[in-house]
Structure 1
Amino acid sequence: MTEFDAGTEFDRQVRTLVDKGYPGLAGMTEAAFRALLAPLRGPVLARAAAMAPPSEGRVPFLLVATRALVPLEESVPLTALAGKSAPGVIERFYAPGELERFVSLRELAVPEEKAYVVFDVDRGEEFCGVVPLDALASVAERGRTPLTMEEGVAFVTQYPEALARNKCFSLGGTRMGGGDRRVPALWISKGAPKLGWCWQGNPHTWLGLASAGGRDR
């Protein structure tokens, strides 16, 4: 197994966010932004011994900047596909003001902090062609948790190669509630990432369901 240095990877992810302009978008100085993320190093290093190196579809951890820190309308355009420059877009089928009504499922107990860590992230390509509701049930049976919108954006921000043709993924950890049947998803459109949604009962051969092993603040 290739040696993996969790501390070095933590620093790389912080640097990526800084280089993409997250401090300014969050209304913070770079120093303050780095200070906000610094406490997350502890939980990462505590699990370092059990971490495997990143692969194309699975990574050991992600630093997640929530929409309370940087709105999705500003973080999505900072994503791009591997080797491409076209900025990510949000599907126009989200009505004006509707995006903010899609929130993390309460039962997932997603940390309330503006930034946190999500561990053992898998884009879930095994669920391509599976009905999203069935995929969510399988993820729950394994003791894993579906990714939220912000976690999906973090995945593509830090690992652009994770979003690939016929290997895109739903983000079932974020829903509107009230019986709404839409499941947010990230896929590829016109050479760029797109944050959209698909129906919970409709399978797509190119769309899996991303999940994680857990979260920490």
Structure 2
Amino acid sequence: MIGRVNTTAVHLPDLPAQARRLVDLGVARLAGIDDAAIIDAAAAAADTGNALLVPHPELLAPSVTAPLLTRSDKPGFVVVDMTDLDDFAPITGVDLPAGPFYLLTGIERGDEMANWSPDEALPTITGAARTPLTIGEGIAWLLQQPGQLEPNRCFMTIGSRLPRQDGRLDARTPAIWISGGTGRDGRERKGAPKVGWCWAGNRHTWLGFASASDRRAIS
């Protein structure tokens, strides 16, 4: 698969606004920290410009943040056959900065790679000197900008994979899309944000590949 990554980044709210959003969502309570810790993290990184404030997965696991997602007043959920979501780890080359929070810059949804497989998309993303989002980062982005999850414009987060005991990677790749309310999702979840998975070799017309230009620690 030959292509190039569209590096037009989304415009994010400023960091103080993002911190307030996380406080309003109850992130501090879930993480067992004070609200002030979130506000202080944003203040310490106030000069970074267009960046996303990301809770480190060691502070807050994806299974905890996924239900905070909302769309049409419906909460997000994790598919029932992904009970091991929190065991998915950053792939080789994706290094998360230390600290309870870190920054992600230059986010792009990757619509131009819709109908590519994860195996096809990853070399193009890294070849453009970009980095694929992890599942925790994808959730953190949608907590701030729920509208980025649109019908037929959803995304995979192939910066996370599940290591197997034999040293290889599990064939599943995490993704976030909109539930159709069918099957085990339940009709009541139609239209809700859905954290699920796709096979690494399969293509889906409604899923792009979210990526970023950089990760950085909060100094």
Specify the alignment match of 1:56 in structure 2.
none
TM-score (structure 1 length as normaliser): 0.84
Specify the alignment match of 2:68 in structure 1.
78
Structure 1 or 2: larger helix share?
1
Specify the alignment match of 2:193 in structure 1.
193
What is the Cα deviation at residue 106 of structure 1? 3.5
Which residue, out of 15, 25, 30, partners 1:10? 15
What is the Cα deviation at residue 66 of structure 1? 2.1
Specify the alignment match of 2:75 in structure 1.
87
Counterpart amino acid of residue 128 in structure 2: R
Give the RMSD, CA atoms, in angstroms: 1.7
Specify the alignment match of 1:54 in structure 2.
none
Specify the alignment match of 1:64 in structure 2.
54
What is the Cα deviation at residue 146 of structure 1? 0.2
In structure 2, how many angstroms separate the alpha carbons of the residues matched to 1:209 and 1:91? Answer: 19
Unaligned runs of 5+ in 1: 49-59
Query: Contact (CA 8 Å) 1:40, 1:116: kept in 2 or not?
Result: no
**Deviation string for 1:24-81 (max 9, x for gaps)?**
1111221233224432324x1xxx3xxxxxxxxxxx4211012222222221111112
**Deviation string for 1:84-136 (max 9, x for gaps)?**
110000011113xx222201124212213221000010011111111211111
Counterpart amino acid of residue 161 in structure 1: G
Counterpart amino acid of residue 170 in structure 1: M
Unaligned runs of 5+ in 2: 1-10, 180-189
Specify the alignment match of 1:52 in structure 2.
none
The alignment-based identity, stated in percent, is 38
Query: Contact (CA 8 Å) 2:70, 2:146: kept in 1 or not?
Result: yes
Which residue, out of 84, 94, 115, partners 1:129? 115
Specify the alignment match of 2:5 in structure 1.
none
In structure 2, how many angstroms separate the alpha carbons of the residues matched to 1:148 and 1:32? Answer: 23
